Chains A and B, each alone.
Chain A
């Protein structure tokens, strides 16, 4: 998402993401504020999860650079869903120099962590996917994901 967000829009976005996770557990949002030219907003929650797991971990981090005195442009994101233990994982990332990609770890084969092709997602789209993974309560698998070429 390369749209430019106003200070107000960014606050609203962080508050909305916090509200999403507040449905599941006590959540925490961290904002580095508007003093500098770079900014990171992170929202995370540790959530109860039924056996065979104990917890689920949701973390949504977005980095921004100042585009104008009162405006911010997103430069990258990390949207994470993890099952603990064992270490099941689905993540959507966008960051230089790798661009947009996904990570997946099937807890039945955790040594096989891999990087996968991905499309650009909004935090709310990623959250919808993670919610369904969470509510199913089954181990995350990597079915339907296409591994990236090794040189990436």
Chain B
């Protein structure tokens, strides 16, 4: 099943997997399903988490080593951040 939304409400996930909204909320409260809490009663579940919950394969994240080395990367980061302070600031 293709997931077309970026974020899902618990009721939408419940409909996708054939469970009740209360069950989905209990999974969220138990930490079995990751959700972003917007208020006491409002949650949004990212598409990737819904896919995992449905047993769909997701591309793995990864840690890589930057071949430039620390000094070059630090200089590049500093230059990028400095450049923002040379732009005209709108008022």
Q: Does B17 belong to the interface (CB within 8 Å)?
A: no
Q: Are A38 and B74 in contact (CB under 8 A)?
A: yes
Q: Are B84 and A35 in contact (CB under 8 A)?
A: no
Q: Are A30 and B64 in contact (CB under 8 A)?
A: yes
Distance to closest chain A CB from B10 (angstroms): 13
Give A24-63 as 1s and 0s: 1 = Cβ < 8 Å from B's Cβ atoms: 1111111111011111101001011110000000000101
Q: Are B61 and A27 in contact (CB under 8 A)?
A: yes
**Cα separation A113 to B34 with both chains bound (whole Å):** 33
Give B15-42 as 1s and 0s: 1 = Cβ < 8 Å from A's Cβ atoms: 0000000000000000000101010000
Q: Does B14 belong to the interface (CB within 8 Å)?
A: no
Q: Are B89 and A114 in contact (CB under 8 A)?
A: yes
The residue on A at minimum CB distance from B35 is: A135
A115 cross-chain contacts in B, Cβ below 8 A: 84-85, 89
A111 cross-chain contacts in B, Cβ below 8 A: 90
- For the side of the interface on A, what is the size category? 35 or more
The residue on B at minimum CB distance from A23 is: B34
Q: Are A32 and B69 in contact (CB under 8 A)?
A: yes
Q: Does B73 belong to the interface (CB within 8 Å)?
A: yes
Q: Are A23 and B38 in contact (CB under 8 A)?
A: no
B1 cross-chain contacts in A, Cβ below 8 A: none
Q: Are B48 and A113 in contact (CB under 8 A)?
A: no
Q: Does A4 belong to the interface (CB within 8 Å)?
A: no
Q: Are A103 and B84 in contact (CB under 8 A)?
A: yes
The residue on A at minimum CB distance from B3 is: A48
A26 cross-chain contacts in B, Cβ below 8 A: 48, 58-61
Kindly identify which residue among A22, A23, A78 contacts B81, using a CB–CB cutoff of 8 Å: A78
**Cα separation A95 to B79 with both chains bound (whole Å):** 10
Q: A residues engaging B (CB < 8 A)? A: 14-15, 18, 21-33, 35-40, 42, 45, 47-50, 61, 63-64, 75-76, 78, 93, 95-96, 98, 103, 111-115, 131-132, 134-137, 150, 152
Q: Mind listing 19 A-B residue pairs with CB under 8 Å? A: A22-B48, A22-B61, A23-B48, A26-B59, A29-B61, A31-B63, A31-B64, A32-B73, A38-B70, A38-B71, A40-B77, A47-B46, A63-B77, A98-B81, A112-B90, A114-B89, A134-B7, A150-B89, A152-B85
